Amino acid sequence: MNYEVLNVDDDKMVLFIHEKMMMHSEFCKSPKSFESGHDTLNYIAEHKSKDKKFIIFLDVNMPELNGWEFMDKLDKMALNSFCHIFIVTSSIDNADKEKAESYPVSVGFVEKPLSIEKLKELKKIEILKDLFPSK
């Protein structure tokens, strides 16, 4: 199974930092970043395939299309089966974590900023183990 990592955040600096963390942690050699949820949905729709998963690091608080609306549209477009989503936020509100867990496509909740250590731990979660075989 192939995978592609997508970062979705309206803050260019956060996207830059997350890309660097992903490369240095060997989570992904070339993550793609999007400032718009709409652009991300279009990308997934155009590039989906039965042997590819998208691992998406999704910011909750974005203009136009927030993270919750993104996941609702992903479901309506029947793209959930191609995706694993980590909700990435600076919010420490338990209600956000509970809401994230209510979406089947959501596989985790990560506080900003991402770090090399956090990314190495994420590789070990059950749903991603096949994508990151132990060396």
What integer pLDDT is reported at residue 73 of this predicted model?
97
Q: Tell me which DSSP letter residue 125 carries.
A: S
pLDDT value at 134 more than 70:
no
State the pTM of this model: 0.94
For the cut 60, the answer to whether the pLDDT of residue 135 exceeds it is no
Query: Nearest-CA neighbor of 87 among 79, 96, 95?
Result: 96
**Owner of token pair 């192939």:** 2
For 56-77, what is each residue's pLDDT tens digit? 999 998 988 999 999 999 999 9
Domain ranges (residues) in the chain: 2-128
Task: Determine the length of the chain.
Answer: 135
Amino acid at the residue 51: D
Other CB atoms within 10 Å distance of the CB of residue 34: 20
Q: Which CATH superfamily is domain 2-128 in?
A: Response regulator (3.40.50.2300)
pLDDT at 133 over 90: no
